[in-house]
Amino acid sequence: MRRPPVLQPWLRRLPLAVVCALAVSSAWAQRDIRFDAPQVPAGGTLVLAVPDVGERGARSGVFAQIDTASQGALTRAAEVAGFRGRLDSQLDLPGIAGFDRVLLVGAGSGTADARRLEDVGGHIGRFAARSKAPQIDVVWDGAEPGAAAHLAFGAALGQYRFDTYRTTQTPDEAAGTGTLVVRSPEGAAAARRWDGDWKAVADAVRFARDLVTEPANAVYPETFVERTRAAFAGKPNVSIEVLDVPAMERLGMGSILAVGQGSARPPRLMVVRYNGGARGEAPVAFVGKGITFDSGGISIKPSENMWRMKYDMAGAASATGAVLALAGRGAPVNAVAVAALAENMPSGTAVRPGDVIRTAAGRTYEIMSTDAEGRMVLVDALWYVQRQDNPRVIVDIATLTGAIVTALGNDYAGLFTRDETLAAQLAQAGEAAGEPVWRMPMHPGYGKMLESPIADMRNGGGRPGSGTAAHFIGEWIDAGRVWAHVDIAGMAWRDGNELSTVPTGASGYGVRLLDRFVRDNFER
């Protein structure tokens, strides 16, 4: 099979590591985020986060200061537009009160918690990405501790865009660059919380989004590894292990090898270990499905929207991104990310429906569909991390089934686990991080649907598809091991249904969820 060409002929003349570095450095334009005291700037572009004080509530703080200086211009504009500060509302006012532009962003009523501040920041980031102003000043005069960093975190997520392959000038070419200054009572001191904590998470989300957005002729198993090496370069307490085809053959990893054997791009199993906790302490493990393109193999998918199947490595991107966040902020925990990387293609060497596969664990299964490949790569990865790292808990994350999209749409990821404590921990982390999960059943009867007359089991069959898929994966989990499976097929890509912190396209879903899960349950 002929290798697919890269997008630009000149890229073929560059070493792989240079290509990866170019992609990492040029994937998006963003504003530099800084922090200062909440004094009112002399002019320019100003953003005010405005609480909802009700119909008769009096405005205070910077809003009142500017309103008084402008003889009530802000109040009149807000009243005419019906703007009161309701959460998610905005009022864009050009040429008012001595400023080039004033954007009022509703902050809702009552005390603003971290999640609400991040959503407000997301709206600010979306505005900042469209604006050509060289500097945007954001004023928050509330007293909530850490508010500035959470506003900045939301803004960093909201301003995301991906322009690597644009070669033509557009009217918005100058937009989204410059500085975003968050002004709050914390002043410049807010930079410590941002630089030492939340910036690392924002960078990790961007890393995951970039990987998922890239086309499959740029990101495939080998380049996924190279981009990961580039992202972790210089991070302390990190090691990266990569198993190539001969190494996987020696270990008997027939399952991941079967998925990759139809492609000219060889599979890889990548393990990133971050040791920020106590020496010898069992790590938390995140295992991600990394199908860099999923054609369905011999059980080929319909052509409509197949282009989006470049996103089928979102689980691996998020698992790796979560550990990148932990390493970037120096989290006091040991953690492992495993990326099961393969490209699922039809060819004369591809596996077929009806083939029987032997896994590294020695168990066999009969292939019902080569499009049920995600679970196939995960079982060898799960076997390996259990044997090598003996993790205290495992969460696998994957764009696994269309059935979960039918069940939960784009509002929740599906959570499958038999551990009540872990279910509660992940649900709480999802709510706190803005990446919610919904627990789904794992009925013992699902196993009956996977029985095979010639092998230990089948890789699919029966309804519900997401439940039987979770059951299949769970068969490779050691007895007594704390484990959860998160199906993110409906959450990894937003298409016209943006959130304030998630523009259209790759969401990076899972990085914030897993980072928060570790914060709340494993950090001392």
| Residues tagged active-site | 301, 375
Cross-strand partners of 272: 240, 337
Q: CA-based diameter of the chain, in Å?
A: 83
Cα 266 from Cα 261, distance rounded (Å): 7
Residue 515 annotated as lining a ligand binding site: no
Cα 226 from Cα 214, distance rounded (Å): 14
Residue 32 annotated as lining a ligand binding site: no
Cα 88 from Cα 155, distance rounded (Å): 14
Cα 74 from Cα 98, distance rounded (Å): 11
Residue 411 annotated as lining a ligand binding site: no
Residue 266 structure tokens: 């060889």
Alpha-carbon distances, residue 478 vs 384, 390, 397, 494 (angstroms): 12, 10, 18, 35
Cα 156 from Cα 33, distance rounded (Å): 8
- Evaluate whether 270 touches 339 at the Cβ level (below 8 Å): yes
Residue 143 structure tokens: 């007293």
**CA neighbor of 438 nearest in space, from 468, 405, 460:** 405
SS (H, E, C) 210-244: HHHHCCCCCCCHHHHHHHHHHHHCCCCCEEEEEEC
Residue 312 annotated as lining a ligand binding site: yes
Q: Rounded to the nearest 5°, which phi and psi values hold at 481?
A: -75, 135
Cβ-based neighbours of 288, under 8 Å, separated by 6 or more: 313, 314, 315, 316, 317, 318, 319, 320, 337, 338, 339, 340, 396, 397, 398, 510
Residue 294 annotated as lining a ligand binding site: yes
Burial of 112 (0-12, 13-18, 19+ CB in 10 A): buried
Burial of 307 (0-12, 13-18, 19+ CB in 10 A): exposed
Cα 82 from Cα 133, distance rounded (Å): 26
Cα 73 from Cα 96, distance rounded (Å): 7
Q: Where are the beta strands (DSSP E) in 345-449?
A: 356-358, 364-366, 393-398, 413-417, 437-439
Q: Rounded to the nearest 5°, which phi and psi values hold at 262?
A: -85, -5
- What's the sign of the alpha-carbon dihedral 50, 55, 60, 66? positive
What crossing angle do the helices spanning 511-522 and 199-213 adopt, rounded to 10°? 150
Task: Give the annotated binding-site residues.
Answer: 289, 294, 312, 371, 373
Task: Give the annotated binding-site residues for Mn(2+).
Answer: 289, 294, 312, 371, 373
